[in-house]
Amino acid sequence: MKFDYHIHTEDSYDSSIKTIDLIDRAIQLKYDEIAITEHLDLLPIEMKSYGAPSLKHYFKRINDLQNTISELTLLSGVEVGDYHIVKDYAVSLLEGINFDLILGSVHFLSDQTNVAIPLKKQLSEEQIRDYYLQNLALVSNCDIDVLAHLGVYKRCYNSIPVERIHYPIIQDIFRVIIDRKIALEINYSSLRRGYPSFIPEQHILELYLALGGQLFSLGSDAHFIEHFDLFRDSIPQEFSNSFRYHL
């Protein structure tokens, strides 16, 4: 089973991928299933820059494509940024649209630092604690299928930091997602940015496994066609085929 459940295409403001090109490439590379997961970023600062996407239009577009493809399964999804902060608004936009996958992710800290873009300097321990607490609030309060890119702030680091003091919060996150049957995404976008591991790293995944976690998702988080499939081979087999979203 070869799949990628985190890809951005033409309905994401920051992606240059044409969905049809992605489908061609995925068929070439023998994928069984891919999920398009366009951004739903609703914080005021994001709305000011990008506006609200038309989810109905996007959903219809993917549906129309689904009807033309037989070589692979195309899923429709969204990545809701900072869902717990914009929950009511996000729920109202998602209502009545039957997406296959809802990803939840934290992009902003309480102090407005955007941790999804290259950081000017490394985060303080306090900011890292805040980052994980935001993730805990997200998974506790929002209905999502997948927790996306946990540890995203490390993507621009060049070595793996010691996060031992944050393990108790990370374990709380894992307890909640296990209880709520939310899959943990292994995101390999970090590898193409020079970070020496996918995220969460093996030692963080061990914490999840030790608590009984078994549901994994896998995502390239590609925004450019040449990034799709890149470094996918570096994910250990035991994780890369263990989660399949059931329609």
77 vs 213 by CB, closer to Zn ion: 77
Supply the minimum distance, in Å, between the C-beta of residue 38 and Zn ion. Answer: 9
Supply the minimum distance, in Å, between the C-beta of residue 107 and Zn ion. Answer: 6
Residue 57: CB atoms within 10 Å = 9
Supply the minimum distance, in Å, between the C-beta of residue 41 and Zn ion. Answer: 9
33 vs 79 by CB, closer to Zn ion: 79
For residues 62 and 57, what is the distance between their CA atoms, to the nearest angstrom? 9
- 113: its two tokens: 């630092």
Supply the minimum distance, in Å, between the C-beta of residue 46 and Zn ion. Answer: 12
| 8 Å CB contact between 152 and 132 | no
13 vs 167 by CB, closer to Zn ion: 13
Mark the segment that binds Zn ion (CB under 5 A) among 27-35, 64-72, 100-108, 128-136.
100-108
Q: 5 to 64, contacts with Zn ion by CB under 5 A?
A: none
Outline where DSSP puts E strands in the chain.
Answer: 3-7, 33-41, 73-81, 101-105, 146-147, 183-187, 216-219
| 8 Å CB contact between 245 and 5 | yes
105 near Zn ion, judged by CB under 5 A: yes
221 near Zn ion, judged by CB under 5 A: yes
Q: 58 to 97, contacts with Zn ion by CB under 5 A?
A: 79
For residues 94 and 102, what is the distance between their CA atoms, to the nearest angstrom? 10
3 state DSSP class of 221: coil
**Chain residues in the site for Zn ion (CB under 5 A):** 79, 105, 221
